[in-house]
Amino acid sequence: MKKIFIFLSLLAGIGCSSPKTVPVQSDFEALKPGKLREFADNSGKWKMLDDFIHPVNWSVASGKSALLFPSGKEKTLEFVPTTPQECYSLGFTARRLVNKGPFSVDVLCHDGKKWNTAGHVGDEMQTGFTDYIFPLTQRVEKVRFVVTTPSGSGVIIDDFFMLRNSPMQIDSVSVTHHQVPVLKGKATNNLGLITVYTQGVKEVRKMTELAIELTEPTRLEDIESMALYYSGVSARMDGAKLLASAPTPAKSLAFACDQELRHGKNHFWISAKLKNNADILHKIKVNVTSVKLDGDAFDFSENKKHQPQRLGIAIKQAGEDGVPIYRIPGLATTNKGTLIAVYDVRRDVIKNMSSDLPNPVDVGMQRSEDGGRTWSPMQVVMDMGNDDEEGAFGNGIGDPAILVDKTTGTIWVMATWSHGDNAWAGSGKGLTKKETGQLILVKSDDDGKTWSKPINITRQVKKPDWHYLLQGPGRGITMKDGTIVFAAQYQDGTKKRIPFSTIIYSKDHGKTWKIENGPLANTTEAQVVELEPGTLMLNMRDNRNRGEKGDKNGRAIFITKDLGKTWTEHPTSHGALKEPTCMASLHKQILGGREVLYFSNPDSKYSRDHITIKASKDFGKTWKKENQVLLDELRGAGYSCLTDVGEKYVGILYESSQAHLIYQLIPVSEILN
């Protein structure tokens, strides 16, 4: 990320007619995720009158934390400022979780004698963050938010403030360029963020022009149009307002607009829409040259040191095909060179405000016969049907892993079926579908065009005493001797349901399957490669990394030479490959007789951001900085899967900050330097 600031003034406060008044602002940044009855910050005291308020970090307007109101009728949060306030405007940013009603937010203010309505928001509130500012004419001693939402929904509020009615002043203007993918199939793409900081609500200032230039290695023929958007306080493009567009791209563009600024942060976005035939091996670079506020120009012409952004394809976006959420990528290359992508098709949010199993989930599949440049429409290859049997619940199947048997050409997909509440938290001991999650396979013998009916192998591999057994997810491998291997995970038979990573394998091309015990407790999602004939490396997500943020943070890595009967810890375990406790991908590619390992994950100990591909030229002993490529620095769900696309390229399907599932094609030369 490259950020350039121009500071105009640093204001400690804004004058007001009453010397007793002080600014009020709450961004809830000090709150940790959970639930609270009450809390206090620098502005005053907050109290939920009839339920819990939930600080969350998974959906915020700015910063790291916001407040989630629970669903229900007239849920009330009361705020008492440290000092009673006069001559103020009141504002906040909010979004609703789902579109269904009934829905309302009423803001009430108490003047010392009675409650007065300051503002009302009804069904017009958007699912994207929106700013709301209401004028106040009375003294304010208390504020109440009264929220009504339907079951399974809620509203998130962030960036609350009460301000003196003073003239607006500009504090600073900044330009930020994030290293994020620019995607075909997506209407908007983040090519630059301009943030204008202001104070005051009277005599409002305006953004009147923004000028940019498109520089090398940009190819204008890849671009259909350029545009400028405004998202207010929200540091997300979701729901942003279009201000100006350039349907015919040029190397230099000036966007004229007339956008009023709000108090606090104002976010403007440079966006591009790519042509359908844009080459995903290309890159694009935008420089902001100047910003005009009411005609006053701010020069950014020297802001040129950021890196170009890579192109890619939005494989699946929220709401596509009527599906709210797509997750859990798997990717493999067939013997014919076709790419097969699989993933969760999460059709509804029913249980525990989650889309994961045991909710209604299917496994989707798409094919590409040109290295990932174009993809077939989605085909559902694993769907356990609508089971009306009592207790079946969502009857979902998901968390897929894909494997190509290099000997026979058969493509296998493995997933876990939850008949009833038999997923991570609810699955029990036993072997039947009513007792425990089921391990299911489908296969294709025609390069992924058609698929078999489900094959249940639970009784072959699950120990009855285990609570749960499921695959990687991601991808499996074919060993030199023809054995096919999936990474797997299980929860043991103790009350604590301790998870272990392991492997599931077949020595007869999928007719029968076997499993062994895992090497290390508290490990889950894993990936496997064959370092040399008969020697497997298992690279595992480790739950200890949730608390370990020091030198011992890192993927757990073990070696087996006897298909999991015995294990040895690798020297790089817990240290070489840091993680925020998230699924990762491990893949081996043979380049002219030389073997290279590739690893991808969020390259962070703290959050699922900075999706990075790393390469090792010495069988995983070292992962040098010069052999790393950053793909997406912003936060997403973080799962990824790698495959080889010939000898010149690596393909990656991952959960991006810019779309639920995206594909990028990376030249091997850029990774290996």
Of residues 525, 530, 579, 655, which has the active-site annotation?
525
Residue 320 falls in the annotated catalytic set:
no
Amino acid letter, residue 369: E
Contact 437, 422 (CB under 8 A): yes
240 DSSP assignment: P
Tokens for 106, please give them. 């009423």
Q: What does the alpha-carbon distance between residue 280 and residue 373 come to, in Å, rounded to a whole number? A: 7
Contact 157, 67 (CB under 8 A): yes
Q: What does the alpha-carbon distance between residue 503 and residue 497 come to, in Å, rounded to a whole number? A: 18
Helix, strand, coil proportions of the chain in percent (round to 5)? Answer: 5, 50, 50
Tokens for 364, please give them. 């989707």
Best CA proximity match to 486, nearest among 466, 514, 459, 458: 514
Contact 231, 237 (CB under 8 A): yes
Contact 17, 169 (CB under 8 A): no
Can you give the three-state secondary structure of 417-468, one letter per residue? EECCCCCCCCCCCCCCCCCCCEEEEEEECCCCCCCCCCEECHHHHCCCCCCE
- In terms of DSSP bridges, do strands 474-475 and 396-404 run parallel, antiparallel, or are they unpaired? parallel
Neighbours of 550 (CB within 10 A): 8
Angle at 287 between CA 172 and CA 297, to 5 degrees: 40
Going from the C-alpha of 584 to that of each of 148, 163, 476, 573, the distances in angstroms are 40, 46, 13, 14
Q: What does the alpha-carbon distance between residue 286 and residue 304 come to, in Å, rounded to a whole number? A: 9
Residues pairing with 523 in the sheet: 542
Q: What does the alpha-carbon distance between residue 412 and residue 418 come to, in Å, rounded to a whole number? A: 19
Residue with tokens 């709450």: 26
Element (H, E) at 670: helix 668-672
Collapsing DSSP to helix, strand or coil, 57 comes out as coil
Tokens for 553, please give them. 């943070």
Tokens for 72, please give them. 């229900």
Find the DSSP H helices in 22-77. none
Query: Is residue 548 exposed (0-12), middle (13-18) or buried (19+ Cβ within 10 Å)?
Result: middle
31 DSSP assignment: P
Neighbours of 339 (CB within 10 A): 24
Contact 549, 573 (CB under 8 A): no
Q: Write out the DSSP string of 507-574.
A: SSTTSS-EE---SSBTEEEEEEEEEETTEEEEEEEEGGGGT--STT-S-EEEEESSTTSS-EE-TTTT
Best CA proximity match to 180, nearest among 658, 665, 662: 658
Contact 538, 526 (CB under 8 A): yes
Q: What does the alpha-carbon distance between residue 477 and residue 83 come to, in Å, rounded to a whole number? A: 65
Residues with a catalytic annotation lie at 525
